[in-house]
Amino acid sequence: MLHIRHLLSVLLIAGLLPAQVAASLPDAVDGEPLPSLAPMLERTTPAVVNIATSGRVQLRENPLLDDPFFRRFFDLPDRPRERRTQSLGSGVIVDAEEGLILTNHHVINRADQITVTLADGREFAATLVGSDPETDVAVIRIDGDDLNALPLADSDALRVGDFVVAIGNPFGLGQTVTSGIVSALGRSGLRIGGYEDFIQTDASINPGNSGGALVNLRGELVGINTAILSPAGGNIGIGFAIPSNMAMAIMEQLVEHGDVSRGQLGVSVQDLTPALAEAFGLDTRSGVVITQVAPDSPAEKAGLRTGDVVLRVDGRPVRHATELRNRIGLLRVGETVELEIRRNGRTVSVRATVDAPETARIDGSGLTPRLAGAWFGRTELQTPQGRQQRLQVEDVEPGSAAARAGLRPGDIILSVNRQNVHTVEEFRRAAGDQRELLLHIQRGTGAMFLLLR
């Protein structure tokens, strides 16, 4: 009997059984129902929506045409040329009463119109509640009745090997379901956003799945599908999702304030390697080393020092520098955090109140007249030694001294006159009153030197 049953299974899989035989297979074998995800999906798929957006983007022109003289000379219109854009994605209803939908920032970025289509075919015009490019999370709202919301799971409880199901709208085909397992947790370094703590799965996630749901076998939301890793743009069994806990933490701030107010400690950190652990005389191989403490920062006020090894944040272990950055970055300004650190062979608990990062723009002419017309801001740069604070060019006025020197928005200052600089004060000291200014900058994935005279 077992042999015949096995043969029937093989023939069915191979497609060799006629349709009437396949249709007559029993719903149960030996009194046990055949396993199926259908009952769970019948409850969850109504909460996953399709999102269509349209917007406008400016077409890039020759940089010479930015000069008003050339535009007048060639009688060109002052209004830049534009083209319409369209995109498709997915979203997840998480609050049926308020009509709140979680999706990705890149799904609705630059959208003038957002149209949401439910699984039952109803369409709604959506409004943007808020969006956070740093985590690639966005929240939109629709006004509708009889909406279905997905229940939430604790994504921190996920384990590698747990079964998961991805629901979305790949390639605009309509709602599609794929299944797999959790392949890895805490993935980062994908350069999708500033805060990365992805769930990796082999459930197929293709273009259009972005913003869709990753659910467990109970139909609870564990993640928001966001990206694939593929040289050709198709699925090769490596997909990534934002953990539901992170997405909901961001959503709370977006709903309340319209944006995200992140806290900061004012430290630079790097991973604790086995060699560093041995050098510090530690019996642990898990933790994060503080490499720099900013003056007058929350970290300095709390008593943190260079060389401290952070082991836990609010009772939860930290293994990587990215994990520490995510934990702090998801806290609100004014919240208190407890750090368990290792210092000189002793374990110490430190409490710090996170503060808002300095976001004020810096006028380049205040650093040196050679940089007049450039505006700088603070950013973080990933280096082999961990994430470090740097100065970044935010804007350059056409025709200014900075523009003539070759600076462009997005350039990151690595060194000035061959001295590494991280802060405005270090920039001023390195520049001094020298006649020439040698800047080492990072531009995109490359680097170059600029000599300003």
- The values of phi and psi at residue 294, to 5°, are -70, 140
Beta-sheet pairing, 100-103 with 137-141: antiparallel
Number of residues assigned to the chain: 453
Taking the C-alpha atoms of residue 374 and residue 177, their distance in angstroms, rounded to an integer, is 49
Q: Which residues pair with 437 in a beta bridge?
A: 452
Q: Tokens 């219109």 appear where?
A: 77
433 is catalytic: no
- The values of phi and psi at residue 374, to 5°, are -110, 145
Cβ(114)–Cβ(108) below 8 Å: yes
Taking the C-alpha atoms of residue 380 and residue 351, their distance in angstroms, rounded to an integer, is 24
320 is catalytic: no
Q: 3-class SS at 12?
A: helix
CA 336 to the chain's CA centroid: 24
Q: Tokens 């956070």 appear where?
A: 132
- The values of phi and psi at residue 122, to 5°, are -70, 145
Cβ(356)–Cβ(321) below 8 Å: no
Q: Which of 90, 204, 210, 268 is catalytic?
A: 210
**How far from 105 is each of 3, 108, 111, 167, 215, CA to CA, in Å?**
53, 6, 10, 18, 20
Q: Which of 106, 320, 422, 440 is catalytic?
A: 106
Q: 3-class SS at 24?
A: coil
The identity of residue 442, as a single letter, is Q
Q: Which of 132, 136, 271, 411 is catalytic?
A: 136
106 is catalytic: yes
**How far from 312 is each of 321, 357, 377, 381, CA to CA, in Å?**
12, 22, 31, 24
Helices (H), 45-165: 68-73, 105-108
Measured CA angle at 206 (ends 201, 207), to 5 deg: 135
Residues designated catalytic: 106, 136, 210
